[in-house]
Chain A
Amino acid sequence: MKLYLWPRSLATRTALVLLLGLAIVQVAGLTIHALDRMDVQRLAQARDLAVRVASFYRTIALTDPGRRPTVLADLHRGPDLTAALAGSPPDVDMPEMPTPEQRLLRVNMSMVWMGAPNLRWREMVIYGGHPWGKVVVAMRLPDGEWLNVRAKLEPLRPWHSPTFLVAFSLMTAVAAVLTLWAVRRLTAPVRLLAEAAEALGRDVNAPPLPENGPTEVAVAAVAFNTMASRIRRFVQDRTELLTAIGHDLRTPITRLKLRAEFIEDDEQRGKILADLEELEAMVSATLAFGRDSRAMETVTSIDLAELLRTILDDAGDARPDVADRLTYEGPSHLTVQARTLSLKRALVNLVTNAVTYGGAARVRLALQDDRMVVIEIEDDGPGISPAEMDRVFEPFHRGEPSRNRETGGVGLGLPIARNILRAHGGDVTLANRPAGGLRARVTLPV
């Protein structure tokens, strides 16, 4: 069964369970308290009523039957008590009082001293009760006459006062707030862990988790940090391996380039040199990938607008056939703080991709919220199938097989660009344009 209202967050779930428990305990407590209180009130009311009615009876019983109506009229009865003398119990539209309450009243009345045993009522009927808000006590005097006393019954009040309820709600609210706070505090390490895992995904060199707090949390943090350092070492080993291979390849490539110069056949020499250029480009991309994960360059100011235009100029010089499809749109100057050489490499990679696969690079630069710059690089190529979207950022992934051999590349351009931009606090995302072609969107803090 699926609980649709069941919240997804651990903190909310825990808080909800705790608050539900708190509510149940509070309601039970309140009920017990109210029942108790009603019992006590019932007892007090019964004693009070018994004393008043019995005293009344005693006064009338002690009075000479002839003078009783006069005495009755003179007696101060209070607003909630009426009494009348009659030949029989009154005719009331109420049933007799329930037995437990009646017994309570009778016991209390019998405890009132009557002066002489023969003055005691010969018979007594009690009607009504709390549901009717009043009670009628009919007593037969020793001489046969009936004294019928009607008394108003104050409704039972389960609560002391409105302030009690206010205080109680306040208390509950404070408990609830404390619960929420405690739960948030207790589940914070889980959130922290999730954030750390996310940060690790973006940057292997993200700072470690603090290894403090409750035992379980500290143990989890230590385990996480150990895992992170293993991943870091793994990445580092791989990077060092790649760099070593790249370094070692330089000497044979240099030799081959020199040897090629001694080949008489111009066509063959040209082809060999082109192959070597491609090989060199691969090695140099591999080296760049290894180097960027270390990011040792210092941050300086650079005119990003001019940098983009320079990159486009270079691209146009290298490919005069597409030069008129390399455009820049945006401010003429825009200063950002960046690791200049890395940033240039990242942007060159993106522009080169656009030119190589899309035959164009339309670059737009804009400032967003004074804090971020957005660079959009559009091309006229076939775009990327949705399935490939995520994979193109994986190192050594080389797009669709149909298009990569011709255009070369080693599958590091985008990973390098993304590493660099993320190290700058920015990012790069790709999207197919509705009109066709690909759009790379770069964000970068100013």
Chain B
Amino acid sequence: MEPTPHILVIDDDREIRDLLARFLEKQRIRVTAVRDGKEARRAWLNGHYQLVVLDLMLPGESGLDLARWLRGQSDIPIVMLTAMGEDTDRIIGLELGADDYVPKPFNPRELLARIRAVLRRAGDQADVRHDPAVRGYRFADWTLEPARRRLLNPDGVEVALTGGEYDLLLALVERANRVLTRDMLLDLLRGRQAGPFDRAIDVAVSRLRRKLEDDGRNAQLIKTVRGGGYVLAATVDRL
């Protein structure tokens, strides 16, 4: 059994704070909820947390400033709550080193899934943790930009990805030349796909191969590992 993670939730709406705390505690996550940057700093100094859920829109000190401050303190994972569909917020947040973002109004179960995924990644291995300094990954002339969640082909043309495909590719790129088991991939895609997860992964991989022009029957880039898993066989440069 995993130890109970402790999360710091920063949101200015008392109701949301209380409800979120209750919801997460029901899911065996310990929560400390505070309303603004001042309280957050105090709570940060008095506790030990595994993850921060941070609302971008805070009274007084903005969520972005607070994220910057937190990043200065440690590399604790941050999940940002952003304004719905405000892509610029998302991009800024991710560039500042948020590990994930959830648009408001969020689905509590999706937030939970993201929190778990980020915690698992954090608990994974230190060297594959999301590195805020990385503006992009280059592999086999392709470029993956986490801040903008986009993939550029060798000519610099964006190639669209679904959310699931992006998550899958990012996981593969961050762990290049290492086998990702089906279980790990299932975690990544959970909460995104409606269909059966097993099939979803195979479908997502085959679509990714098509987009990367990686011939499915003789795939060179994303290789299938016998026994259930995939590996990105390429040198990845961090930009």
Interface residues of A (CB under 8 A from B): 246-247, 250-251, 253-255, 257-259, 261-262, 273, 276, 280, 283-284, 287-288, 291, 296-297, 300-303, 306-307, 309-311, 313-314, 317-318, 320, 335, 340-341, 344
Which of B45-53, B134-142, B158-166 makes up part of the contact surface?
Answer: B158-166
Residues of the A chain whose Cβ atoms lie less than 8 Å from the Cβ of B165: 310
Residues of the A chain whose Cβ atoms lie less than 8 Å from the Cβ of B26: 261
Of B104, B156, B161, B194, the residue contacting A310 (CB under 8 A) is B161
B105 located at the interface, meaning its Cβ lies under 8 Å from any Cβ of chain A in the complex: yes
> Is there an interface contact between B162 and A303, defined as CB atoms closer than 8 Å?
no
Report the nearest B residue to A291, measured CB to CB.
Answer: B85
**Chain B, 69-116, CB within 8 A of any chain A CB:** 83-85, 87-88, 104-109
> Is there an interface contact between B158 and A258, defined as CB atoms closer than 8 Å?
no
Residues of the B chain whose Cβ atoms lie less than 8 Å from the Cβ of A344: 160
Bound form: Cα–Cα A317–B201 in Å? 12
How far apart are A383's CB and chain B's nearest CB, in angstroms? 28
How far apart are B148's CB and chain A's nearest CB, in angstroms? 9
Residues of the B chain whose Cβ atoms lie less than 8 Å from the Cβ of A341: 87
| 27 A–B contacts from the bound complex (CB under 8 Å) | A251-B105, A253-B105, A254-B104, A254-B105, A255-B19, A258-B16, A259-B19, A261-B23, A261-B26, A276-B105, A280-B105, A287-B84, A297-B87, A301-B155, A301-B157, A302-B157, A302-B158, A303-B153, A306-B159, A306-B160, A310-B160, A313-B162, A314-B162, A317-B193, A317-B194, A318-B194, A320-B195
Bound form: Cα–Cα A80–B114 in Å? 120
Most A Cβ at <10 Å: residue of B16, B83, B84, B105:
B105
Interface residues of B (CB under 8 A from A): 13, 15-16, 19-20, 22-23, 26, 83-85, 87-88, 104-109, 150, 153, 155-162, 164-165, 193-195, 200, 207, 211
Of B15, B107, B156, B160, the residue contacting A307 (CB under 8 A) is B160
> Is there an interface contact between A284 and B19, defined as CB atoms closer than 8 Å?
no
Add 5 more A-B contacts to A283-B84, A287-B85, A303-B160 (CB < 8 A). A254-B106, A255-B13, A257-B108, A302-B159, A341-B87
> Is there an interface contact between A317 and B157, defined as CB atoms closer than 8 Å?
no
Bound form: Cα–Cα A284–B83 in Å? 10
> Is there an interface contact between A317 and B161, defined as CB atoms closer than 8 Å?
no
Bound form: Cα–Cα A313–B165 in Å? 11
Bound form: Cα–Cα A344–B163 in Å? 13
How far apart are A275's CB and chain B's nearest CB, in angstroms? 13
A258-B19 CB under 8 A given contacts A250-B83, A301-B158, A317-B193: yes
How far apart are A57's CB and chain B's nearest CB, in angstroms? 108
Residues of the A chain whose Cβ atoms lie less than 8 Å from the Cβ of B194: 317-318, 320
Report the nearest B residue to A273, measured CB to CB.
Answer: B107
Residues of the B chain whose Cβ atoms lie less than 8 Å from the Cβ of A314: 162
Residues of the B chain whose Cβ atoms lie less than 8 Å from the Cβ of A259: 19
Bound form: Cα–Cα A255–B23 in Å? 11
Most B Cβ at <10 Å: residue of A253, A258, A284, A300:
A258
> Is there an interface contact between A251 and B157, defined as CB atoms closer than 8 Å?
no
Residues of the B chain whose Cβ atoms lie less than 8 Å from the Cβ of A283: 84, 105
Bound form: Cα–Cα A335–B108 in Å? 38
Q: Enumerate the 5 nearest inter-chain pairs by beta-carbon distance, A residue then B residue, closest first.
A: A258-B19, A253-B105, A310-B160, A254-B105, A307-B160
Bound form: Cα–Cα A312–B197 in Å? 19
Residues of the A chain whose Cβ atoms lie less than 8 Å from the Cβ of B13: 251, 254-255
How far apart are B72's CB and chain A's nearest CB, in angstroms? 29
Residues of the B chain whose Cβ atoms lie less than 8 Å from the Cβ of A311: 160
A258-B20 CB under 8 A given contacts A288-B85, A310-B162, A320-B194: yes
Residues of the B chain whose Cβ atoms lie less than 8 Å from the Cβ of A306: 159-160, 211
Residues of the A chain whose Cβ atoms lie less than 8 Å from the Cβ of B153: 303
How far apart are A111's CB and chain B's nearest CB, in angstroms? 103
Report the nearest B residue to A276, measured CB to CB.
Answer: B105
How far apart are A138's CB and chain B's nearest CB, in angstroms? 107
Of A258, A288, A310, the residue contacting B108 (CB under 8 A) is A258
Residues of the A chain whose Cβ atoms lie less than 8 Å from the Cβ of B20: 258
Bound form: Cα–Cα A344–B161 in Å? 11
Bound form: Cα–Cα A262–B160 in Å? 37
A251-B16 CB under 8 A given contacts A257-B108, A306-B211: yes
Residues of the B chain whose Cβ atoms lie less than 8 Å from the Cβ of A335: 155, 157
Bound form: Cα–Cα A297–B87 in Å? 9
Of A257, A273, A284, A303, the residue contacting B159 (CB under 8 A) is A303
> Is there an interface contact between A257 and B107, defined as CB atoms closer than 8 Å?
yes
Report the nearest B residue to A320, measured CB to CB.
Answer: B195
> Is there an interface contact between B195 and A255, defined as CB atoms closer than 8 Å?
no
Bound form: Cα–Cα A335–B193 in Å? 28
Residues of the A chain whose Cβ atoms lie less than 8 Å from the Cβ of B23: 258, 261-262
Residues of the B chain whose Cβ atoms lie less than 8 Å from the Cβ of A258: 16, 19-20, 23, 108
Bound form: Cα–Cα A246–B211 in Å? 36
A317-B195 CB under 8 A given contacts A250-B105, A254-B106, A307-B160: yes
A257-B158 CB under 8 A given contacts A247-B83, A262-B22, A287-B84: no
Bound form: Cα–Cα A310–B83 in Å? 25
> Is there an interface contact between A313 and B16, defined as CB atoms closer than 8 Å?
no
Most B Cβ at <10 Å: residue of A246, A247, A257, A335:
A257
> Is there an interface contact between B84 and A284, defined as CB atoms closer than 8 Å?
yes
